[in-house]
Amino acid sequence: MGIVVDTRATMLPRGMRQEQLDVARRFHGVLATGHTLQAGAEWWWPARPADGEETAVMLIAEIPLAISCDDGVLRQAPPGSLCFLRPNHDTRVIAIGDGTVMCLWVPW
């Protein structure tokens, strides 16, 4: 794959005003990141056009998360849930408590 994944280019356009980034490692076209979040921290991903630069996110958190997609309905994801967030949907993630989240940013 010829797609280069950059931490700032990947995360900042997706509502992460502060990256809350603890660690980032790249393996081929995939970026793995670890974040420390405070309760109430919110990330949002606007739907991305199909331009070849889309990035899907797989995340797992040690804390409960509230996640909503296009319909705006918040759904609870218990600690340890594997969440797959596709780039072609408006998505919002809210930390219910303080803790860490691991993310894989995968070229779509």
Please report whether residue 2 resides in a domain.
no
What is the pLDDT at residue 1?
37
Confidence of residue 16 (pLDDT cuts 50, 70, 90): low
Spatial distance between the Cα atoms of 30 and 76, rounded to a whole number of angstroms: 26
Please report whether residue 48 resides in a domain.
yes
Number of structural domains, the chain? 1
Q: What are the φ/ψ torsions at residue 10 (nearest 5 degrees)?
A: -80, -45
What is the pLDDT at residue 9?
54
pTM score, whole prediction? 0.76
Place of tokens 């356009």: 13
Nearest to 36 by CA among 62, 13, 10: 62
Confidence of residue 38 (pLDDT cuts 50, 70, 90): very high
Spatial distance between the Cα atoms of 65 and 60, rounded to a whole number of angstroms: 10
Domain limits at 96?
7-107
Please report whether residue 1 resides in a domain.
no
C-alpha separations of 25 from 22, 36, 84, 92, 97 in Å: 11, 16, 19, 24, 25
Please report whether residue 18 resides in a domain.
yes
Spatial distance between the Cα atoms of 61 and 101, rounded to a whole number of angstroms: 4
CATH of the domain at 60: 2.60.120.10
